Structure 1
Amino acid sequence: MIDMEIKPYERMVYYYETDRMGIVHHSNYIRWFEEARLDWMKQIGWDYKTIEDDNIIIPVLSVSAEYKTMSRYGDNIVIYVKLAEYTGIRIGFSYEVHDKKTGELRCVGTSCHCLLDENNKPVFMRKRYPEKDAFFKELMKQQAEE
């Protein structure tokens, strides 16, 4: 049983992220997913700096977003990140973007990644990072039971 509180990622919508209509340009949600994912990884003790120092890269295999309602300049948003897929080679995340004040759902999305070594070969988590492999497997099991 994993007994760790992973906090959602919070941020304000900046003016430069909006378009001429005063709403957030759709491409920014993908950037926010990345910000939230990096924060999630840091909270579990596995930040990108450490991973990259270990000569591992985590390229994006796919990303999707479904826009529900508009975010505007000055809004405060909360992004909930969950581990959505884990195979030991691939790792996927789901995202929910909510307005902090109203709780209204703004966007949902997913991203899928793989881990590659310095030769662009797949990294097998159970060999390279056995403690994170066990953590991710347990987290997937725990989420399935919720």
Structure 2
Amino acid sequence: MHISTKEIEVRYAETDQMGVVYHSNYLVWMELGRTKLIEDLGFNYAAMEKEGVISPVIDIQASYKTPVRYGEKALIKTWVSEYDGLRVTYNYEVYNGAGELSLTGNSRHVCVKKDSFRPISIKRSYPEWHEAYMKAKAQPEEVSGS
């Protein structure tokens, strides 16, 4: 299993009056983690979009544990937890500046043609991505230990 890491410097604009990161910003951070993972695997999502393929979120989940505050650096860990050739589920963990787990979450995606929104098979259309995802995805025994 490949786990990608991305460090984020918490900006003032991302926080509420208490100096705590506002909940919706974690979804943006999940996207940053996902993009970093794709880059780590040797691919570029923007290149796929230029070919008329997009990957919308079809489900998302987030559980907040401990706050991340202004002035800290957050660490996002991202990995592929499920992949079946069509749908991909990415899992996330976000840690605050003290190294405490702040968020667990996942997002599920499918690749579709931009003009029709018809799903495409990653396995057939992007065999290199398929191979990389098969190698990178978590095995059941790895997930329970994360």
TM-score, reference length from structure 1: 0.89
Match of residue 51 from structure 1: 48
Contact 1:6-1:43 within 8 A present in 2 as well: no
CA–CA distance in structure 1, aligned partners of residues 43 and 132 of structure 2? 11
2:111 is matched with 115
- Indicate whether 1:13 and 2:7 are aligned: no
**Matching residue of 1:99:** 96
Identity of aligned residues (%): 36
- Deviating beyond 4 angstroms after TM superposition, the runs of 4 or more aligned structure 1 residues are none
Q: Does 1:29 align with 2:11?
A: no
Q: 1:134 aligns with which of 107, 120, 131?
A: 131
Q: Distance in 2 between matches of 1:43 and 1:139?
A: 10
Give the distance between the partners of 2:19 and 2:99, measured in 1 at CA.
Answer: 20
Q: Compared with structure 1, are the counterparts of its residues 65 and 74 closer, same or farther at alpha carbon in structure 2 (3 Å cutoff)?
A: same
Structure 2: gaps spanning 5 or more residues:
none
Tell me how large the CA RMSD over aligned residues is. 1.7
Query: Is there any run of 5+ residues in structure 1 with no aligned partner, and where?
Result: none
Letter in 2 for 1:43: D
Distance 2:66 2:74 in 1: 12
Alignment equivalent of 2:86, drawn from 81, 86, 89: 89
2:74 to 58, 77, 100: 77
Give the AA of the match of 1:117: K
Q: Which amino acid aligns with 1:36?
A: G
Shift of 1:80: 0.4
Aligned partner of residue 8 in structure 1, secondary structure: strand
Residue 6 of structure 1 deviates from its aligned partner by 5.3
Amino acid across the alignment from 2:96: D
- Contact 1:6–1:44 (CA<8 Å) still a contact in 2? no
Mapped to 1, the partners of 2:87 and 2:4 lie a distance apart of: 23
Q: Is the 8 A contact 2:4 2:33 kept in 1?
A: no
In the alignment, is the contact (CA less than 8 A) between 1:78 and 1:97 conserved in 2?
yes
